[in-house]
Structure 1
Amino acid sequence: MGILAPSADERVKNVEITDDVISVSLMDGRVISAPLVWFPRLLNASQADRQKWQTCAAGYGIHWETLDEDLSTEGLLRGAPSFEYQEKH
C-alpha cells in the first residue's frame, strides 16, 4: 500500500519582507525564507517599494517593477542568492 504525497504547488501566494529576511509563502503551504542581504536591490529599497511586488511566470516568480528585480521560487528553493550578491562574495 502506497502513501499519496500531497502535490507540490510552488506558486507564490504571498511575500513578506523584514529588514533582514524575505519570506515567500507558497500555494501548498510551505514558506521559503532567505537572508535579505542575498538580494541587494531589495535590501537597499524602501519598505514601500518592497511591498510593490507582483507574481510573474505563471505564479512561479516574483517581480518588482520599480526595482527591476525578479526572483523565482525555484531559485529560492535551491538557496540561490542573486548574481549581485555572488559577485561581491
Structure 2
Amino acid sequence: MNSSNIEPRPLTQNIQFSDAELMVTLLDGRVIHIPITWYPSLANATEKQRANWELLGEGAGIHWPELDEDLSIEGLLKGIH
C-alpha cells in the first residue's frame, strides 16, 4: 500500500487582533496565536491599518499594504518572527 507524507498547504481563512495577539484562523480549523510584539509595525499600527489586510497566494500569506508588512503562514507555524 502506498501512503503519502504530503501535508496540505496551510491557508488563511481569517485574521483578528486582540490588544496582545494576532490570531490567524486557517482553513483546516487551526488558530495560530502570535504575540503582536513580534511585529512592531503591526503593534504600532492603528485599528484601521490592521484591518486593511489582504491574502497572498490563496491564503499562504497575509499582506498589509499601508504598513508594507507581509507574513507567511508557514513562517508563523514555525515561530519565525
Q: Which interval holds the TM-score relative to the shorter structure?
A: 0.7 to 0.9
Alignment: residue pair count: 75
Runs of 4+ in 1 over 3 A off after TM superposition: none
Paired residue for 1:64?
64
Q: How high is the TM-score relative to the length of structure 2?
A: 0.87
User: Which consecutive unaligned segments of at least 5 residues does structure 1 have?
Assistant: 1-6, 82-89
Question: How many angstroms does 1:16 deviate by?
Answer: 0.4
Question: How many angstroms does 1:57 deviate by?
Answer: 2.1
Identical pairs, percent: 44
Question: How many angstroms does 1:34 deviate by?
Answer: 0.7
Q: How high is the TM-score relative to the length of structure 1?
A: 0.79
User: Which consecutive unaligned segments of at least 5 residues does structure 2 have?
Assistant: 1-6
Question: How many angstroms does 1:43 deviate by?
Answer: 0.2
- Once residues 10 and 51 of structure 1 are traced to their aligned partners in structure 2, the CA distance between those partners, rounded to angstroms, is 21
